[in-house]
A and B are shown apart, each in its own frame.
Chain A
Amino acid sequence: MITSKSDEMLVQLNGAGVRKGSNWLVRGVDLTVSPGEIVTLIGPNGSGKSTTAKMSLGILKPTEGIAAKRKGLVVGYVPQKLSIDWTLPLTVRRFLRLTNKLSDYVCRDALEQTGAGRLVDTEVRHLSGGELQRVMLARAIARSPDLLVLDEPVQGVDYAGEIAIYDLISEIRSLLGCGILMISHDIHVVMAAADQVICLNGHVCCRGTPSDVSKNDNYHQLFGTRASGALAVYEHHHDHTHLPDGQVRHADGSLCSSCPGEHHGPEKDTHSHPTTDKQDDLTNVG
């Protein structure tokens, strides 16, 4: 992990990839998160979303490429899984103070924001899945981070809560001015909030900003709720499979040794993604 002095970027990945044994979990990821920006990672299971997030955090060292983060960066992290053993007596109040000291006021305030205020004295292992998500988010927020990394922050949260939490995430972004790196399966809601969407499939499959789509009146009329239509934009087929040995099998069964990088745009190939232009915007499809 390299710490950069630049004030611009919170974290940056440059052609980063992680190999476990002989398998590449993910390769060639370019990614930056700037202050106030929400970057969302989407992709099928096993496509390297969590691995990419862990590389940005410095939990995993990239086997190839570079991972850098700003010096003195305060991170709030909501991991994908957290299991608390019976042997561990841990209340929500204590859990919020896991990695740094916090005043009681800050703890309560963060819990109220995520709608978990009444849980402050509950034992963490008694929380339901959705409640745990809210508590973990509160813990991450309470640190007043420069960067929030959220690995599926709404898993197990009820539908109404889901919307509220995504609203909260946008709110926190404007309140704290922090950058947010988020992983989600829920494309509908993600599209409304994200500044940049990166679709992973063992490598960066495509990327772009969804904002134009969500502003489009036709989409609103057609689908009613916010940005549901964006789903259509991002619905595309993965026309090839990444094999464990790093080879790529195309739909027609042919094999090649490496992936050509960012390619196959959304829906129809109305435009291409040159690998040199990372900020390429694919919302012009709509």
Chain B
Amino acid sequence: MLDDFFTRALVAGIGVAIVAGPLGCFIIWRRMAYFGDTLSHAALLGVALSLLLDVNTTLAVGAVSIVLALILLTLRQNETLSSDALLGLLSHSALALGLVCLAFMTWVRVDLLGLLFGDILSVARLDILLIYGGGALVLVVLMVIWRQLFAATVSPDLASGEGLRPERAELIFMLLTAIVIAISLKIIGALLITALLIIPAAAARRLAVSPEQMAGLASLIGIAAVVGGLYGSLNYDTPSGPSIVVAAMVLFALSLLPLSRLLNRVSSKSKGERT
């Protein structure tokens, strides 16, 4: 079954969407969308390093993202620059550094568009293994720290005052985000990973009455966006990342419609996609 490149992309994309849902909710709740952007732009540096050192791309991207998240945490404690200025600085420095590195390596030919916008042709079996292995790890850890992280999101003071450890939960959350970005790079591309994290979560908001439900709905909407986007990409020969994001955007627009009409549409739409 996995011999077909499109099936591989579909399986991989669905895996990414499942993990991106709950994580994206936290990114929205904690107002960290720009943090996701920073990590994903830095992913290009990871790609350059992986080519240079001849290691697996996903692992190299993950390592670079984690290092960047740690640098950010350290710099933020110094209270020199504001958080968004720091993010901008790190984000674009890493992106530029990655592009310069790639340009120096004249012996490798890199499909830059594929890196930036995702390339469904390039999904290999190992990638699927990484996505589901890494994804399962992320979900398990997220479940373990869920209460801590959620309390820290609502009020760090309250969480800390009542004996939880919000800083630790936040650090773990940043590392999880780094892992998810690394495993989604091939499917969705460096420029648009944040979109897959936040658009399904945003679309889920109006339909959800509890945080846990919002996380689950975000995963489902993400799956619908991946399926719709990949089929669109196949039919119209468009890059996979932007196609998925466009599909997610359509679902978000639908979520703005009145509730009852929306529910009908979403269910009929996803039924249509799966047949």
Taken together as a complex, chains A and B put the C-alpha atoms of A98 and B151 apart, in Å, by: 6
- Contact residues, B148-192 vs A (CB, 8 A): 150-151, 153-155, 157-164
A89 near B208 with CB under 8 A, answer yes
Decide yes or no: A90 and B161 within 8 Å by CB, A82-B154, A98-B154 being known contacts: no
Q: Which residue of B lies closest to A95 (CB)?
A: B154
Decide yes or no: A143 and B160 within 8 Å by CB, A87-B29, A98-B151 being known contacts: no
Tell me whether A251 is interfacial, beta carbon within 8 Å.
Answer: no
With most chain B CB atoms within 10 A of its CB, the pick from A82, A86, A90, A143 is A90
Q: Indicate with 1 or 0, residue by residue over A62-105, a CB within 8 angstroms of chain B CB atoms.
A: 00000000000111110100101111111100110011100000
Q: Which residue of B lies closest to A87 (CB)?
A: B28
Contacts of B158 in A (CB 8 A): 77, 79, 82, 98-99
Taken together as a complex, chains A and B put the C-alpha atoms of A87 and B210 apart, in Å, by: 11
Contacts of B205 in A (CB 8 A): 86-87, 89
Shortest C-beta distance, B13 to chain A (Å), equals: 25
Tell me whether B147 is interfacial, beta carbon within 8 Å.
Answer: yes
B160 near A58 with CB under 8 A, answer yes
Number of A-B contacts (CB under 8 A): 71
A59 near B29 with CB under 8 A, answer no
Taken together as a complex, chains A and B put the C-alpha atoms of A148 and B31 apart, in Å, by: 30
Q: Which residue of A lies closest to B163 (CB)?
A: A75
Contacts of A94 in B (CB 8 A): 210-211
Shortest C-beta distance, A8 to chain B (Å), equals: 20
Chain B contact residues: helix, strand, loop or mixed: helix
Contacts of A87 in B (CB 8 A): 28-29, 202, 205
Q: Which residue of B lies closest to A80 (CB)?
A: B157
Contacts of B154 in A (CB 8 A): 82, 84, 88, 90, 95, 98
Taken together as a complex, chains A and B put the C-alpha atoms of A91 and B210 apart, in Å, by: 7
Taken together as a complex, chains A and B put the C-alpha atoms of A123 and B209 apart, in Å, by: 8
Q: Which residue of B lies closest to A149 (CB)?
A: B161
Contacts of A123 in B (CB 8 A): 209
Binding site for A on B (CB under 8 A): 28-29, 31, 147, 150-151, 153-155, 157-164, 202, 205, 208-211, 213-214
Q: Which 9 A-B pairs have the closest CB atoms?
A: A77-B161, A57-B161, A99-B162, A59-B160, A89-B208, A87-B28, A98-B151, A99-B151, A75-B162
7 CB < 8 A contacts A-B: A54-B157, A58-B161, A77-B161, A87-B202, A89-B213, A90-B210, A90-B211
Q: 14 extra interchain contacts, Cβ-Cβ under 8 A, other than A77-B158, A79-B157, A98-B158? A: A57-B161, A58-B160, A59-B157, A76-B162, A77-B162, A84-B154, A85-B31, A89-B205, A89-B209, A89-B211, A90-B154, A94-B211, A100-B162, A123-B209
